[in-house]
């Protein structure tokens, strides 16, 4: 196989891992920006109970949490470790700070100082 060729495809110096990381980071920014814009449109009212936008945001964070931690790292998801008893099922649409803190921790794939308080 020639340098830069993998299974019949030329890579031309593309780092697939970095490309994937950049794409995931862009999706995280888009999710957070979209939620922020939607909340600004509601201001000063709180999001309605059962909000689809908030539900989708929680869903995206939780799916990533399970995928990264349970399936890939074979560890407990963040909502079962750092956020045990404070996880997605307990979030309120009127208080989005915990939701956003949880999502940022999941999106960063690390333990965040100042996360949930025991």
pLDDT class of 46 with cuts at 50, 70, 90: low
What's the confidence (pLDDT) of residue 41? 75
Residue 115 domain flag: no
Residue 13 lies in a domain: yes
Across the chain, mean pLDDT equals 75
Following DSSP, what letter does each residue of the chain receive, concatenated? Answer: --TTEETTEE-TT--HHHHHHHHHHHHHHHHHHHHHHHHHHHTTSPPPTT-HHHHHHHHHHHHHHIIIIIIIS-S--GGGTTTTTSSGGG-BTTB-HHHHHHHHHHHHTSPPTT----
Q: Is residue 104 part of a domain?
A: yes
Decide if 26 is inside a domain.
Answer: yes
Which residue range is the domain that position 78 belongs to?
A: 5-108
How many folded domains does the chain comprise? 1
- Give domain status of residue 118, yes or no: no
pLDDT digits (tens, 9 = 90+) for 60-88: 888 999 988 888 888 889 888 888 877 66
**Confidence bin at 115 (pLDDT 50/70/90):** very low
Give this prediction's pTM. 0.64
Q: Is residue 89 part of a domain?
A: yes
Is the confidence at residue 110, as pLDDT, over 60? no
């Amino acid at each position: 196989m020639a340098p830069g060729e993998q299974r019949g495809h030329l890579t031309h110096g593309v780092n697939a891992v970095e490309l994937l990381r950049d794409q995931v980071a862009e999706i995280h920014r888009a999710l957070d920006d979209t939620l922020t814009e939607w909340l600004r449109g509601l201001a000063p009212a709180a999001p309605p109970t059962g909000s689809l936008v908030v539900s989708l945001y929680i869903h995206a964070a939780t799916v990533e949490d399970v995928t990264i931690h349970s399936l890939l790292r074979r560890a407990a998801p963040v909502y079962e470790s750092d956020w045990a008893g404070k996880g997605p099922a307990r979030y309120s649409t009127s208080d989005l700070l915990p939701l956003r803190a949880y999502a940022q921790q999941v999106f960063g794939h690390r333990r965040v100082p100042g996360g949930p308080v025991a």
